[in-house]
């Protein structure tokens, strides 16, 4: 089956959900390739490829993303989440006015379809890319075996200010420092050429110009949200100093979700100039990169949107 045909087919949501569940609802279970690249440069990066998936596994990944987003949005409103899920899977087909209002409210940010003739926006693709970043880091161990002490969930609205992502890692036994953080910027690239350079460079330049403000805003969040974890709260309070000083406990990463065709084939490089933009981060491993490749990424993001919005 051709890639174009696989993109055009939308298997039923129940079949996608069943296949996802059979694979533990893990995006990584459907990865067709994972490679560490650029290990000889200051910013090594990982390629996670979901290229060449048949319609069924491609739909399963779309369902995993859609369900994770909506589970997070509903939070403690588990009954409302169950209602959305049942409706999305066709297990119920009618809603009263109040139910429809509730479901529409939670689905509207980012995913409400644009009116006919409206100027195209790229919020859906960007948001889906952020959630792929999140799910991959939730599922996968760090290359150095570090654990996630905190992994930030993507913002509900893609245009909200601040950093796109934050991970605080707890290093392995005997390593110092015991806690390290990575400030992440997420981008999507939907061009067809095999150069991500401008997108990656722009992301690192953004962190160079706004990184201090990003980390400062996180420090305020830590004071409010981590009152039950004094160690982590104290670390978050110190992050701005660590960032400004280029301490080895600080660092940055850029993730790009893109079309398979845009991934640079060796010997072409990516992330090779990252250190030039954040030149205060001089320690080995402080800079990280991630490329998530999917055939026709914009179409994949639209599929996630269709699953979220359902028949609302």
The per-residue DSSP string of 21-61 comes to: HHTTT-GGGG-SEEEEE-TTSSEEEEEEE-TT--HHHHHHH
Strands 252-259 and 287-294, how do they pair? Answer: parallel
- Tell me how far apart the alpha carbons of residues 192 and 220 are, in angstroms, rounded to a whole number: 40
- Tell me how far apart the alpha carbons of residues 65 and 297 are, in angstroms, rounded to a whole number: 13
Predicted TM-score (pTM) of the model is 0.94
Here the tokens at position 165 are: 């992502």
- On whether the CB atoms of residues 250 and 239 are closer than 8 A, the answer is yes
Question: Mean pLDDT, to the nearest integer, of 159-182?
Answer: 87
- Tell me how far apart the alpha carbons of residues 303 and 246 are, in angstroms, rounded to a whole number: 41
Could you tell me the pLDDT band of residue 174, with boundaries at 50, 70 and 90?
confident
Could you tell me the pLDDT band of residue 122, with boundaries at 50, 70 and 90?
low
Percent of the chain with pLDDT over 70: 93
* 142 pLDDT more than 90: no
Question: Mean pLDDT, to the nearest integer, of 185-207?
Answer: 88
Percent of the chain with pLDDT over 90: 77
Question: Mean pLDDT, to the nearest integer, of 209-226?
Answer: 86
Q: What is the DSSP letter of 109?
A: H
Any idea where the domains of the chain sit in the sequence? 3-309
pLDDT tens per residue, range 74-109: 999 999 999 999 999 999 999 999 999 999 999 999
pLDDT tens per residue, range 148-168: 999 999 999 877 778 899 999
Question: Mean pLDDT, to the nearest integer, of 34-57?
Answer: 96
* 179 pLDDT more than 70: yes
In sign, the C-alpha dihedral spanning 190, 192, 196, 202 is: negative
Strands of 152-230, DSSP E: 165-170, 179-189
Residues sharing a CB contact under 8 Å with residue 84, sequence separation 6 or more, in sequence order: 70, 74, 103, 106, 107, 310
pLDDT score at 268: 76
* 24 pLDDT more than 50: yes
* 119 pLDDT more than 70: no
Q: Which is more confident, 190 or 298?
A: 298
């Amino acid at each position: 089956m051709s890639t174009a045909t696989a993109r055009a087919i939308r298997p039923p949501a129940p079949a996608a959900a069943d296949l996802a569940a059979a694979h533990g609802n893990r995006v990584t279970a459907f990865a067709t390739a994972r490679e560490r690249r650029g290990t000889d440069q200051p910013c090594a990066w990982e390629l996670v490829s979901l290229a060449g998936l048949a319609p069924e596994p491609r739909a399963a990944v779309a369902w995993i993303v859609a369900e994770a987003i909506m589970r997070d949005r509903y939070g403690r409103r588990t009954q409302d989440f169950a209602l959305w899920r049942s409706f999305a899977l066709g297990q119920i087909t009618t809603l009263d006015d109040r139910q429809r209002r509730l479901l529409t409210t939670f689905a509207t940010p980012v995913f409400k379809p644009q009116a006919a003739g409206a100027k195209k926006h790229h919020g859906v693709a960007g948001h889906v890319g952020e959630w792929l970043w999140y799910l991959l880091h939730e599922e996968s161990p760090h290359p150095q075996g570090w654990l996630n002490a905190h992994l930030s969930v993507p913002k509900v609205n893609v245009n909200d200010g601040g950093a796109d992502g934050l991970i605080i890692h707890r290093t392995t036994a005997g390593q110092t420092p015991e806690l390290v953080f990575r400030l992440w910027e997420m981008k999507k690239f939907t061009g067809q050429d095999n150069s991500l350079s401008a997108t990656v460079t722009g992301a690192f330049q953004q962190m160079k110009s706004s990184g201090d403000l990003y980390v400062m805003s996180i420090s305020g969040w830590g004071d409010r949200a981590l009152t039950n974890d004094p160690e982590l709260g104290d670390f978050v309070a110190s992050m701005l100093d660590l960032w400004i000083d280029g301490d080895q406990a600080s660092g940055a990463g850029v993730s790009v979700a893109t079309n398979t065709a845009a991934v640079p084939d060796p010997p072409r490089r990516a992330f090779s100039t990252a250190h030039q933009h954040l030149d205060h981060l001089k320690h080995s491993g402080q800079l990280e990169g991630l490329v998530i490749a999917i055939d026709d990424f914009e179409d994949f993001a639209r599929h996630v949107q269709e699953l979220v919005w359902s028949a609302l």
